[in-house]
Structure 1
Amino acid sequence: MSKTPTKIPVSPIASEEEREQALRDYKVTIEYKHLKSHAPGGVYLIPSMDNLRHFFGIIFVRRGPFTNGIFKFSLKLPPKYNDTDMWPQIVFSSRVFNPYVNEMTGELDIKSAYPTWDPSRHYLVTVLTYLKKIFYSKNFTDARANPVAKELAETNPEEYRKKVEECVRESQKNIYVNEEGSTAQFTEEQVSHRVLRDLLKHHIRSENQVTKQAVLTQIEKARNV
């Protein structure tokens, strides 16, 4: 006679932890969706392929001493993000000479701006807005990450600007050097891409001319170049 399999008891504590973690995961997806229309200008964030809490980002700096810089970074969230004092972590893969960025590790000092991380007031958009702000800031009173950069900015602005311009040029030079596994990839433009762009401009001059067949025709012409 067969016996009914003994049920393994499920710990109510573990079950509660699973529900709480599922809620945290859901909140992360909501925050990311919010970024589509509220991300600060020039800042882009793309999720990794295999981790809900790992993102790759880029900031294009449009004015100020870092003008034309293209700086890449990764953003990681701790497992219990959405709890108090669970700060996001941002690390630049591009070299950034800035009082708020540790030059050795590339990590952005978030805690100097947010000594307490309050999930009811602080979100992904909060930290990305702060990331953008450090490239335009003129006052580094609370900066601690790079004392050398801070001292130069305060005592020798001309030398500080030279160092900044160096890392801007380096960011442009390394634009096609992609971090392994990054979903934010830059690829060099191929000849066929330029030809296709010119063909589209020449043959499709108005919205009324945009059809699937018209575009496919120009793509085929570009392939034969």
Structure 2
Amino acid sequence: MHSFDEVWNGVITIKHGLYGGGIFRFKLLIPDEFPDTSDTIAVVFTPAIYHPSVQPATGQLDCKQMFEPWKKNVHHIWHIMAYVKSIFSSIDCSNCLNEKAAENYTNSTEQFKFEVKKSIEQSNLHLLNDTDPDDSYAFRFAGSDDDGLKAIEKLMLTMEMFSDSTLRYKSDLRTLGLSWLSEKI
């Protein structure tokens, strides 16, 4: 059993590409002696995702090909995070952990896309379930109705906080950091 400082919970959202629309929960399992160890940090997706570099039974991402052995003066946790992000935009089928996914990616693009879509749906549904209710550090998600989300979106699109704490209308979403919101309400 890992302690809270050895397990980091994460969520990555993918906007574009084959995995676009996916929200994937994962855990970073940090070795006991980190950073004074040659053991690589493990990344485990919960639930397992359909990807050539992810072991289908455990959800573990193959990080060893990139970071084995772990070098504390060279490798950093942000490197692991960058690698996690990169697997969704640049699929590498060499040294794969899911041979069926690699085969479909190479030879049957439509089947691969179908399986990825199923994986995205499963992962997005899984977000609403607490996988470990005893873990007070895990991300918790709650569902909402479309009307509630639309009201929040409209509010965010029409208001901006200024340093003097007054609210003013703002139409340029990029300066608000809200470029991901739709301007159509």
Same structural fold, with TM-score higher than 0.5 when normalized by the shorter chain: yes
**Distance in 1 of aligned mates of 2:15 and 2:68:** 29
For the aligned residues, what is the CA RMSD?
Answer: 3.0
Distance 1:186 1:115, change over 3 A: same
Residue in structure 2 matching 1:89, options 24, 29, 42: 42
- Amino acid aligned to 1:187: A
1:120-131 to structure 2, matched below 5 A, reads: 120-131=73-84
Residues 5-46 of structure 1: CA deviation (Å, up to 9, x unaligned):
xxxxxxxxxxxxxxxxxxxxxxxxxxxxxxxxxxxxxxxxxx
Q: Please name the residue that 2:117 is paired with.
A: 165
In the TM superposition, residue 113 of structure 1 has moved relative to its aligned partner by: 2.0
8 Å CA contact 2:48, 2:60 repeated in 1: no
Aligned match of 2:166: 209
**C-alpha deviation, 1:94, in angstroms:** 2.3
Identity of aligned pairs, percent?
A: 22
Runs of 4+ in 1 over 3 A off after TM superposition: 193-201, 203-210
- Per-residue displacement from partner, 1:46-78 (whole Å, max 9, x unpaired)? xx9x62221110010111100010110111111
The question of whether the paired residues in 1 share the 8 Å contact of 2:26 and 2:43 is answered with yes
Counterpart amino acid of 2:131?
Answer: E
| Structure 2 residue 130 is matched with structure 1 residue 178 | yes
Shift of 1:151: 1.3
Q: Confirm or deny: 8 A CA contact 2:39 2:68 kept in the other structure.
A: no
Checking the alignment, whether the CA contact within 8 Å between 1:95 and 1:106 is kept in structure 2 is yes
Decide which of 81, 95, 103 is 1:151's aligned counterpart.
103
The separation in 2 between residues aligned to 1:172 and 1:118, in whole angstroms, is 34
Q: 1:58 aligns with which of 3, 11, 14?
A: 11
Tell me, which stretches of 5 or more residues in structure 2 are unaligned?
Answer: 168-185
Matched with 1:23 is: none
Per-residue CA distance 1:90-148 (angstroms, 9 max, x = gap)? 1111230001100101111111222321111111101111111111113322x321111
Q: Give the one of 92, 100, 103 matched to 2:53.
A: 100
Residues 165 and 200 from structure 1, CA distance in 2 versus in 1: closer, same or farther, beyond 3 angstroms?
closer
Q: Tell me if structure 2 keeps the 8 A contact 1:81–1:87.
A: no
Question: Using the alignment, how far apart are the partners of 2:23 and 2:34 within structure 1?
Answer: 28
SS of the aligned residue for 2:110 comes to: helix
| Contact 1:60–1:69, Cα closer than 8 Å, also in 2 | yes
Aligned counterparts of 2:76 and 2:70: Cα–Cα separation in 1: 9
SS of residue in 2 equivalent to 1:112: helix
Structure 2 residue identity aligned to 1:160: F
Identify which of 50, 72, 80 aligns with 2:33: 80
Give me the whole-angstrom Cα distance separating, in 2, the residues matched to 1:99 and 1:75.
19
Q: Are positions 1:140 and 2:93 aligned together?
A: yes
Structure 1 regions of 5+ residues with no counterpart? 1-47, 211-225
- Is the 1:72–1:93 Cα contact (8 Å) retained in structure 2? yes
